[in-house]
A and B are shown apart, each in its own frame.
Chain A
Amino acid sequence: MTSRKPDLGGAAVAQRRPPLAVWALSLLAVAAAACGTSGSGNSSGSTAVASKQVLHFPIYADPQTMDPALGDQEIESELSENVFDNLWLFDKTLNIVPDIATAVPTQANGGISSDGLTYTVHLNPKATFNNGDKVTSADVLYSWNRAVAYAGAYSTNLAAIAGFADVQKAASGMTDAQIETQLSAKNTAFAMSGLTAVNSETVQIKLANPCGWCLAAWTLEGTTGAVVDQKVVSQDPASWWHTPGQMVGTGAYKLTAYTPKESMVFKLVPNWWGTAAGLAKPAVSEIDIDIHDPSAAEKDIAAWEQGSYDIFGYGGYSGLLTVADILRIQRTASEKSELLTVDKGRTTWLSFNVGYPATGGPFVGETAAAKGLRLAFDLAIDKQGLAKTVCGNVTCSPATGGLITKGLTGYLGDNQDPLAKFDPTQAKQLLKEYDPTGQLTANLKYSYNAGSPNDQVATYLAEQWKANLGVTVTLNADPDASDFIKNRLAGGYVMSRDGWQFDYNSPQDWYDNLWGAAVLSAGANTSGFDDPQYDSILAQADQLPTTQALPLYNQLAKMLSDDAVYIPLYYSVGNFLIHSYVKGAGSNTAFDYYWDQISLLSH
């Protein structure tokens, strides 16, 4: 039995508002206090430049390193290309133009010798680091020798220079600090014989072999071709790149604050020596970057719509906009024009195990049966349907023009890859011919790293094989991407998801790094495909200027498709949200536009 005491609490309650209501009101009040964001600013009709030139956008991982000797990820190059310069840079249409060097070397201008083996590079006398140190040829020698000794993922961009292998051998097994000691001591074992300083403003590069792709590789921003300041790096080899004030480059911006896992701030270098394409001088004075987990992407898209961010998708994260987001934005009149869609230079395909007998499977070897079965599994996939089902035709497009992505040198042209065909009838015939009992294709597995869109792609493939071939393929999703990559590169899968994002605009970047004897011996040939003829043509093509080499590279593409080594799946399409007041911002197949080309209009 309960007792009622209305005379006790009644008065007390009557004199006070219930605390729950107080809290609820407080919550609203606090939320209200947060207001003041002025909408998305979509309809900026103004051409007046904003007084506050601060660019704000999120990224979804800390850079593992912004040390150009070790940089490996897209996020790293997208950031560090604004802090460091190479001798040359890619412009918006991927042409190579001078940066620290005064000219792009050619045989016509005397920059390349007639035998194609010697490059002479003159440095811009105005070039300085952001700490005021002048850039000299000694800095170029230090930066490149160091990058080779560190043996980072992109050190092979310098592999054609005479003495490359000797330096890597000398530095093998050494820590970064030990390497710096050797470099500071000017140990000649740590200096490539082909890289010399003619004088303080001239560098000579001698190659072991002619190299048609080298200039593009040396130009790749944020990696081994970038110039760093020995004075700064050698003092603190481990921490220099993430310490504001020590991350010294020659670019227009410098790191002024870095709170790991939280934020980065870059500021314009006062009196920067360079020039910004399209602007008299760089306009954006500060870049504020929030570092979030990818799971926050949806929230950040909403924040972009609130007006909290100027751009979404920069830093290598143009793939985070979902199909639903893009379709919604396309339907929103005020935001539609602020969606930028760009082919992003990444192709995804399926690799068969062609060359690893130990891994096994029905696709190994060059027999008619192995080839026929590979082709059957390829023809059974509707690639147009894949792009529509998985990507809504907005985050990817069907890979119909070969392995090299649309927009890059080496792209074969729309519908030029015979493996892009969808022919379930022929697929069935091939299967019947080469596996009449179904024994060979029983218990097949398709392996991939779990996540979007790989899960959806895998499900689609399994459904297609089931529907068009009557074959059940088990899906083997590895939740750990690094584990999957390790096994894949070692040829551990019968069928696996494979792909490549180009580094620089040369077919060599694809054909050298993915198939053939060299990558096979390096443990990085997923399919195990190798053919002496492939290696021979590749070696020949790599020595020629790209325009002359292109027919040879196209022969390699034909060899791969004739052998049905892969199933082409899709080309990635990047999607960016860029408010209309952010002028000069954008992206191309390779990279986000440099910050020094951006200006903010009043909004």
Chain B
Amino acid sequence: MLTRGTLIYIAKRVVLLAFTVFLVSSVVFFAVHSLPGNALISARLHGAALQQQLHQFGLDRPIMVQYWSFISNAVRGNFGVSYVIQGLPITPLVIRELSVSCELGGAALIITIGLGVSVGVIAAVRHNTWVDYILTSLAVLGYTVPSFVIATLFYLVFGVWLATLTNGGFSYPLTWTGTYGTLAELSVPAFAIGLFTSGQVARITRAAMLDVLQQDYVRTARAKGVREWAVIIRHALRNALVPVVSILGPLIATIITGVVVIENIFSIPGLGKEFIESILNHDYNITVAVFALLAALIGVANLGVDLVYAAVDPRIRY
């Protein structure tokens, strides 16, 4: 149930978020327009013909006029048109790409939490056993090896070596089908991101569980004859999750940055791939739109985490 205080808190955060997005957009707009060269120059298009094209797209206007034009359209949800795919409206493009990135990021988040919490709980429950040592070592390995290294390794092992070993009969598909790919195509990039972040979750979950498992109320539950799985899941894990939730904000930011790299490695048509392409191609409007959406995404994710945090920890009230 949302209290009045919570609603006010959300409203404040939304205003702050809007201001942040505006600020990011403005900085990026001026930055990309100050880059040398532009999207339309080629060996063939130059001189008067180039001027004609610059005029067509309004790129021959003063920078402040272009900025005002962009901002006034952007607040209405219109990011303009692409200069590279000439005349293509950008908004549907970046929204679609955002949804692809959300799919990949969401899958990675599920793996992060699912795998990280599972490993953390088992390591804690099997504290100081070989199981604990192995899982803790894997977790440390997970968060010390960057996701792009894991991705490249997976690509090599599942996509290339497996294909070679089985003479092409059994391997991870190196293509991406349609907008959202298939579950098989999604699995490897999602794991590549998720393994990295799940290492951190596992470490924190283990520490929190070790702490909680020694609390009096856990001992009381056991003394009352509550089944062990119920003690761990219902009594211990719920409280151990509070610190896990607290790191979700930074983790989501890590996942989003991971998505940028992983999408480029696996040619996934999301916002992360666009992030790089639009900069390299001088597709100014897309670059600004991508930055704005990524800023908004991180802001919204953090707001969501803060609200979840309040839900799982009764001590927090807005």
Q: Please give the residue numbers on chain A whose beta carbons come within 8 Å of chain B beta carbons, in ascending order.
A: 2-6, 8-13, 18-20, 23, 26-27, 30-35, 37-40, 62-65, 67, 70, 72-73, 150-155, 172-173, 175-176, 238-239, 241-242, 259-263, 290-293, 295-296, 299-300, 302-303, 305-309, 480-486, 489, 500, 522-524
Shortest CB-to-CB span from A225 to chain B, Å, is 15
Chain B residues lying within 8 Å of A20, measured Cβ to Cβ, are: 115, 118-119, 135, 138
Binds A, one of B243-251, B267-275, B310-318: B267-275
Given A2-B128, A306-B163; A30-B183 close (CB under 8 Å): yes
Q: Find out whether the CB atom of A4 lies under 8 angstroms from the CB atom of B267.
A: no
Chain A residues lying within 8 Å of B276, measured Cβ to Cβ, are: 293
The 7 closest A-B pairs by CB, nearest first: A34-B184, A9-B125, A482-B37, A483-B37, A19-B118, A39-B168, A153-B44
Given A34-B184, A306-B168, A482-B41; A522-B47 close (CB under 8 Å): yes
Q: Find out whether the CB atom of A306 lies under 8 angstroms from the CB atom of B37.
A: no
Chain B residues lying within 8 Å of A242, measured Cβ to Cβ, are: 85, 87-88
Q: Find out whether the CB atom of A12 lies under 8 angstroms from the CB atom of B172.
A: no
Given A20-B119, A299-B174, A305-B168; A480-B48 close (CB under 8 Å): no
Q: Find out whether the CB atom of B122 lies under 8 angstroms from the CB atom of A19.
A: yes
Chain A residues lying within 8 Å of B184, measured Cβ to Cβ, are: 30-31, 33-34
Q: Find out whether the CB atom of A72 lies under 8 angstroms from the CB atom of B127.
A: no
Q: Find out whether the CB atom of B173 lies under 8 angstroms from the CB atom of A262.
A: no
Q: Find out whether the CB atom of A302 lies under 8 angstroms from the CB atom of B86.
A: no
Chain B residues lying within 8 Å of A293, measured Cβ to Cβ, are: 264, 267, 273, 276-277
Given A151-B48, A482-B37; A23-B85 close (CB under 8 Å): no
Scan residues 167-206 of chain B and give those whose CB is less than 8 A from a CB of chain A: 167-176, 178-179, 182-185, 187-188, 191
Binds A, one of B1-9, B14-22, B152-160: B152-160
Shortest CB-to-CB span from A493 to chain B, Å, is 14
Shortest CB-to-CB span from A31 to chain B, Å, is 5
Given A27-B187, A31-B171, A31-B188; A9-B47 close (CB under 8 Å): no
Chain A residues lying within 8 Å of B232, measured Cβ to Cβ, are: 12
Give me 15 A-to-B residue pairs in the complex whose CB atoms sit less than 8 angstroms apart, sorted by A's number: A12-B228, A13-B131, A20-B135, A34-B184, A40-B168, A153-B49, A241-B87, A295-B267, A299-B267, A300-B174, A306-B174, A482-B41, A484-B37, A485-B46, A524-B46
Chain B residues lying within 8 Å of A30, measured Cβ to Cβ, are: 183-184, 187
**Other-chain residue from A72, A292, A295, A300 in contact with B42 (beta carbon distance below 8 A):** A72
Chain A residues lying within 8 Å of B115, measured Cβ to Cβ, are: 19-20, 23
Q: Find out whether the CB atom of B128 lies under 8 angstroms from the CB atom of A302.
A: no
Answer yes or no: B24 CB below 8 A from chain A CBs: no
Given A242-B85, A262-B179, A483-B36; A523-B46 close (CB under 8 Å): yes
**B side interface size, CB within 8 A:** 82
Shortest CB-to-CB span from B244 to chain A, Å, is 15
Q: Find out whether the CB atom of B163 lies under 8 angstroms from the CB atom of A305.
A: yes
Cα of A500 to Cα of B93 in the assembled complex, Å: 34
Shortest CB-to-CB span from A154 to chain B, Å, is 7
Given A37-B171, A65-B86; A154-B44 close (CB under 8 Å): yes
Q: Find out whether the CB atom of B49 lies under 8 angstroms from the CB atom of A152.
A: yes
Answer yes or no: B10 CB below 8 A from chain A CBs: no
**Other-chain residue from A11, A64, A306 in contact with B85 (beta carbon distance below 8 A):** A64
Chain B residues lying within 8 Å of A39, measured Cβ to Cβ, are: 167-169
**Other-chain residue from B35, B38, B41, B269 in contact with A262 (beta carbon distance below 8 A):** B269
Q: Find out whether the CB atom of A299 lies under 8 angstroms from the CB atom of B159.
A: yes
Q: Beyond the given A19-B122, A72-B44, please list 7 additional residue pairs across the A-B interface where CB-CB is below 8 A.
A: A31-B158, A31-B170, A239-B88, A299-B174, A300-B175, A309-B175, A485-B41
Shortest CB-to-CB span from B189 to chain A, Å, is 12
Cα of A154 to Cα of B40 in the assembled complex, Å: 14
Chain B residues lying within 8 Å of A154, measured Cβ to Cβ, are: 44
Chain A residues lying within 8 Å of B118, measured Cβ to Cβ, are: 19-20
Q: Please give the residue numbers on chain B whose beta carbons come within 8 Å of chain A beta carbons, in ascending order.
A: 35-49, 52-53, 55-56, 81-82, 84-89, 93, 96-97, 111, 114-115, 118-119, 122, 125-129, 131, 135, 138, 155, 158-160, 162-163, 167-176, 178-179, 182-185, 187-188, 191, 214, 228-229, 232, 264, 266-267, 269, 273-274, 276-277, 282
Given A13-B126, A293-B267; A64-B86 close (CB under 8 Å): yes
Closest to A503 in B: B44
Cα of A152 to Cα of B53 in the assembled complex, Å: 8
Given A19-B119, A308-B174, A308-B175; A480-B43 close (CB under 8 Å): no
Cα of A38 to Cα of B125 in the assembled complex, Å: 46
Chain B residues lying within 8 Å of A63, measured Cβ to Cβ, are: 85
Closest to B183 in A: A30
Chain B residues lying within 8 Å of A72, measured Cβ to Cβ, are: 42, 44-45
Chain A residues lying within 8 Å of B44, measured Cβ to Cβ, are: 72, 153-154
Q: Find out whether the CB atom of B182 lies under 8 angstroms from the CB atom of A34.
A: yes
Shortest CB-to-CB span from A521 to chain B, Å, is 9
Given A9-B125, A12-B125; A153-B42 close (CB under 8 Å): yes
Shortest CB-to-CB span from A476 to chain B, Å, is 14
Cα of A242 to Cα of B92 in the assembled complex, Å: 14
Chain A residues lying within 8 Å of B93, measured Cβ to Cβ, are: 260-261
Cα of A11 to Cα of B138 in the assembled complex, Å: 23
Chain B residues lying within 8 Å of A31, measured Cβ to Cβ, are: 158, 162, 170-172, 184, 187-188
Q: Find out whether the CB atom of B159 lies under 8 angstroms from the CB atom of A4.
A: no
Chain B residues lying within 8 Å of A23, measured Cβ to Cβ, are: 111, 114-115, 191
Chain B residues lying within 8 Å of A290, measured Cβ to Cβ, are: 175-176
Cα of A32 to Cα of B119 in the assembled complex, Å: 24
Most chain A beta-carbon neighbours within 10 Å: one of B38, B168, B178: B168
Closest to B118 in A: A19
Q: Find out whether the CB atom of B173 lies under 8 angstroms from the CB atom of A480.
A: no
Closest to B162 in A: A31
Shortest CB-to-CB span from B175 to chain A, Å, is 5
Given A30-B183, A485-B43; A261-B97 close (CB under 8 Å): yes
Q: Find out whether the CB atom of B45 lies under 8 angstroms from the CB atom of A152.
A: yes
Q: Find out whether the CB atom of A64 lies under 8 angstroms from the CB atom of B84.
A: yes
Given A293-B264, A480-B35, A524-B47; A302-B160 close (CB under 8 Å): yes
Q: Find out whether the CB atom of B172 lies under 8 angstroms from the CB atom of A34.
A: yes
Cα of A238 to Cα of B56 in the assembled complex, Å: 10
Q: Find out whether the CB atom of A18 lies under 8 angstroms from the CB atom of B122.
A: yes
Chain A residues lying within 8 Å of B175, measured Cβ to Cβ, are: 290, 300, 303, 308-309
Cα of A20 to Cα of B139 in the assembled complex, Å: 10
Cα of A482 to Cα of B283 in the assembled complex, Å: 12
Chain B residues lying within 8 Å of A4, measured Cβ to Cβ, are: 127-129
Cα of A242 to Cα of B93 in the assembled complex, Å: 13
Q: Find out whether the CB atom of A70 lies under 8 angstroms from the CB atom of B86.
A: yes
Closest to A18 in B: B122
Shortest CB-to-CB span from B317 to chain A, Å, is 34
Shortest CB-to-CB span from A166 to chain B, Å, is 15
Chain B residues lying within 8 Å of A27, measured Cβ to Cβ, are: 187-188, 191
Cα of A173 to Cα of B87 in the assembled complex, Å: 18
Q: Find out whether the CB atom of B37 lies under 8 angstroms from the CB atom of A295.
A: no
Shortest CB-to-CB span from B201 to chain A, Å, is 12
Chain A residues lying within 8 Å of B42, measured Cβ to Cβ, are: 72-73, 153, 482, 485
Q: Find out whether the CB atom of B56 lies under 8 angstroms from the CB atom of A35.
A: no
Closest to A13 in B: B126
Closest to A499 in B: B43
**Other-chain residue from A33, A65, A151 in contact with B87 (beta carbon distance below 8 A):** A65
Cα of A488 to Cα of B280 in the assembled complex, Å: 19
Q: Find out whether the CB atom of B49 lies under 8 angstroms from the CB atom of A151.
A: yes
Cα of A239 to Cα of B129 in the assembled complex, Å: 65
Cα of A26 to Cα of B194 in the assembled complex, Å: 14
Shortest CB-to-CB span from B115 to chain A, Å, is 5
